[in-house]
């Protein structure tokens, strides 16, 4: 299929100038370690491990420090020592001497205990004099001198008791703080509101480094610099994510649903009254997404090591299935948390169909048939889906459906039915295409009018974009307006993506925004939708459009890499075993869920098969 399937208006995503998508890492700080930095790391590490023997010799490190590539002229130096299971140690002095501050660290009574663990040392150099700040008037949405950039700006707090306290720029990342209200709440809990109201504040920025296994790593917004986007980094992210999913899966088949790495806690902040041990909240739709992530990983690796876990997850899923008489034939829906969600059954069908296609194992095929019958029965005469067949244990009628709207469930149902289509009989296939045309007509033409208030810029219905991409394999489902919808939403996504050339901070590039200036929204789900547009362009045969989308995809992939909990990124974590491989929801928030892992890891896994050919033809990499 060529461009006659694409309207002239949406035939190209505007990217004539590729500079906005190129080399975002070049805008970040450019730390280049030299061999003496490694020698210095060895000396510092040895001193910490043997601090009782080397306190008097700490001054000897000054000549070693002088040979490193770290700043030599600074207003203040702060050292922070981390070790799993221990409260961190922070020492700071307004001095020009590294050894003076380091000796204070070695003298700290808890340093020997941390030195016996796999520790990390953070160094923050404040290069310019701090400037006065009104803590209660600065903010992330303010402009000019009143703008406070979370993760980049730090605070010196001069208390009424003449004590000085620090909130380092990267502490927003370490303490899981994304906004000013969270920062004020955190400091109020730490010091009390009366104390803060009497205190004076200064703001500062710093150059920050963390010790690694073999070298120092520079931090930006608390996270180790990502560097250039490579296939190896994408593969590592997928491996870490799937490793985390498999390691933390329960015998029942359930996944670790929610985890806050800053607190070592499984208590879901959206369901704070639910005890994570005795009464945990568990979203079954997201459960299926976790298993899908493992399937996409298997497609890339063909190792087979995740198949038992996938089957275990499917087993748990099907225990939540309820069968019923669906127009004289047995149907089934997924029922969990007192609800039968359209999306829960849709993603469940997507999972079963993907599993059968991957393995050839037909043991779940009858369940797939039952779920498909249910989904088709939820398409009304108008083409609108019924979003919940049961809500809080009560059946939902078609007349009540408007009260239970969900924006994403129809796209999830379409993904499931599209992937299921090859498993259906010829007669059922004709019914599926007829029903889906009706549903898509409603979703593309009617819903934007009747549900206009639910539409955002950038567009958010990545599931529907992916569903149309899946349906393009069915010749009877190819209509120009379907492709136009996908490419139009893709263009709008790119229009609301921070570019290298307009990003307020270097790491904003590739993240989305609703209004320019918003805190960066690195979003794996939207990335999956954008990837769906890329795959659809390839299916249609529009190589130019595919190249243009790829350049945006690369930048988006670079952005979401900042969400991955690599070993170096969890230097602060009290329980790194659980934190490793998690993929966070925001740059400086430390909580993640199974679905925040799912969207980014699935995006990466589905991106990898295209890497070599796309890079060879990429405009932004300079090869075309």
Domain that residue 432 falls in: 283-455
What pLDDT, in 10s, does the model give residues 107-129? 999 999 999 999 999 999 999 99
Q: Are residues 211 and 294 in the same domain?
A: no
CA 465/CA 528 separation, integer angstroms: 9
Contact criterion met (CB below 8 Å) for 205 and 199:
no
Query: What's the whole-number mean pLDDT along residues 374-387?
Result: 98
Q: Are residues 200 and 304 in the same domain?
A: no
Residue 203 lies in a domain: yes
Domain boundary among 424, 455, 486: 455
User: What angle do the packed helices 524-540 and 462-471 form, to 10 degrees?
Assistant: 20
Domain boundary among 184, 200, 224: 224
Residue 326 lies in a domain: yes
Query: What's the whole-number mean pLDDT along residues 195-207?
Result: 98
Closest alpha carbon to 561 in 607, 601, 613: 601
Peptide bond into 333 cis (omega under 30): no
pTM, full prediction: 0.94
Q: Are residues 65 and 212 in the same domain?
A: yes
Q: Are residues 193 and 296 in the same domain?
A: no
CA 568/CA 236 separation, integer angstroms: 13
Q: Are residues 208 and 64 in the same domain?
A: yes
Q: Are residues 289 and 217 in the same domain?
A: no
pLDDT for residue 511 is more than 70: yes
CA 191/CA 185 separation, integer angstroms: 10
CA-based R_g, the chain, Å: 27
pLDDT at 30: 85
Q: Are residues 312 and 215 in the same domain?
A: no
Q: Are residues 196 and 294 in the same domain?
A: no
CATH code, 311: 1.50.10.20
Residue 420 lies in a domain: yes
Residue 310 lies in a domain: yes
Sorting pLDDT into bands at 50, 70 and 90, what band is 431? very high
Local structure of residue 60 (DSSP, 8 states): G
Q: Are residues 217 and 289 in the same domain?
A: no
What pLDDT, in 10s, does the model give residues 320-367? 999 999 999 999 999 999 999 999 999 999 999 999 999 999 999 999
Domain boundary among 189, 206, 224: 224
Closest alpha carbon to 581 in 314, 266, 261: 261
Sorting pLDDT into bands at 50, 70 and 90, what band is 180? very high
Q: Are residues 55 and 153 in the same domain?
A: yes
pLDDT for residue 104 is more than 90: yes
User: Between β-strands 154-158 and 76-82, what pairing exists: parallel, antiparallel or unpaired?
Assistant: unpaired
Give the total number of structural domains in the chain: 2
CA 123/CA 87 separation, integer angstroms: 17
Query: What value does the mean pLDDT of the chain take?
Result: 94
Task: Determine the number of helices (DSSP H) and then strands (DSSP E) in the chain.
Answer: 23, 17
Q: Are residues 215 and 304 in the same domain?
A: no
Residue 213 lies in a domain: yes
CA 287/CA 585 separation, integer angstroms: 17
Chain Cα centroid distance, residue 534: 20
pLDDT for residue 408 is more than 70: yes
Q: Are residues 293 and 392 in the same domain?
A: yes
């Amino acid at each position: 299929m060529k461009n006659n399937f694409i309207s002239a208006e949406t035939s190209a995503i505007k990217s004539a100038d590729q500079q906005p998508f190129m080399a975002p890492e070049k805008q970040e700080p450019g730390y280049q370690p030299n061999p003496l930095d490694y020698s210095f790391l060895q000396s510092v590490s040895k001193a910490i491990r043997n601090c009782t023997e080397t306190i008097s010799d700490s001054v000897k490190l000054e000549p070693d420090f002088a040979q490193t590539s770290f700043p030599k002229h600074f207003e203040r130096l702060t050292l922070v020592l981390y070790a799993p299971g221990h409260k961190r140690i922070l020492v700071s002095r307004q001095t020009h001497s590294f050894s003076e501050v380091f000796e204070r660290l070695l003298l700290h009574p808890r340093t020997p205990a941390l030195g016996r663990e796999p520790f990390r040392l953070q160094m923050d150099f404040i290069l310019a004099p701090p400037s006065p700040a009104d803590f209660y008037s600065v903010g992330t949405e303010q402009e000019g001198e009143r703008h406070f950039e979370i993760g980049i700006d730090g605070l010196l707090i001069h208390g009424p008791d003449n004590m000085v306290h620090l909130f380092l720029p990267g502490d927003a990342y370490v303490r899981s703080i994304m906004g000013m209200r969270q920062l004020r709440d955190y400091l109020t809990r730490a010091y009390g509101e009366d104390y803060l109201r009497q205190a004076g504040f200064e703001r500062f920025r710093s150059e920050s480094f963390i010790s690694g296994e073999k070298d120092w790593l520079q931090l930006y917004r608390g996270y180790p610099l990502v560097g250039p986007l490579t296939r190896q980094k994408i593969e590592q992210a997928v491996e870490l994510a799937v490793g985390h999913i498999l390691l933390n899966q329960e015998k029942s088949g359930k996944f670790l649903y929610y985890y806050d790495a800053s607190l070592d806690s499984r208590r879901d902040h959206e369901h704070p009254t639910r005890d994570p041990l005795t009464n945990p909240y568990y979203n079954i739709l997201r459960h299926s997404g976790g298993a899908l992530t493992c399937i996409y990983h298997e497609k890339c690796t063909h190792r087979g090591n995740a198949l038992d876990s996938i089957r275990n997850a499917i087993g748990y899923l099907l225990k939540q299935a309820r069968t019923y008489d669906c127009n004289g034939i047995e149907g089934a829906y997924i029922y969990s948390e007192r609800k039968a969600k359209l999306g829960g059954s849709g993603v469940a069908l997507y999972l079963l169909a993907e599993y059968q296609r991957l393995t050839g194992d037909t043991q779940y095929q009858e369940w797939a048939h039952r779920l498909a019958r249910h989904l088709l029965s939820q398409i009304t005469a108008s083409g609108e889906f019924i979003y919940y067949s049961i809500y809080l244990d009560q059946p939902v009628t078609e007349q009540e459906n408007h009260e239970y709207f969900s924006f994403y469930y129809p796209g999830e149902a379409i993904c499931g039915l599209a992937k299921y289509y090859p498993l259906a009989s010829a007669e059922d296939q004709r019914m599926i295409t007829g029903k889906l045309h009706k549903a898509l007509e409603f979703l593309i033409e009617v819903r934007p009018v009747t549900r206009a208030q639910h539409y955002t810029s950038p567009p958010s219905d990545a599931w529907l974009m992916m569903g149309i991409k899946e349906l393009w394999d069915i010749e009877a489902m190819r209509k120009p307006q379907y492709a136009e919808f996908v490419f139009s939403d893709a263009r709008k996504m790119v229009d609301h993506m921070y570019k290298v050339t307009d990003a307020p901070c270097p790491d904003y590039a590739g993240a989305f925004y609703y209004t320019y200036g918003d805190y960066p929204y690195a979003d794996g789900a939207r990335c999956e939708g954008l990837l769906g547009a890329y795959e659809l362009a390839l299916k249609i045969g529009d190589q130019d459009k595919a190249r243009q989308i790829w350049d945006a995809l690369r930048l988006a992939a670079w952005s979401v890499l900042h969400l991955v909990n690599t070993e170096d990124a969890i230097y602060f974590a009290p329980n790194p075993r659980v934190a490793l491989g998690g993929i966070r929801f925001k740059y400086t928030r430390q909580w993640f869920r199974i679905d925040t892992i799912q969207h980014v890891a699935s995006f990466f896994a589905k991106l990898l098969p295209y890497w070599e050919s796309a890079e060879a033809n990429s405009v932004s990499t300079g090869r075309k």
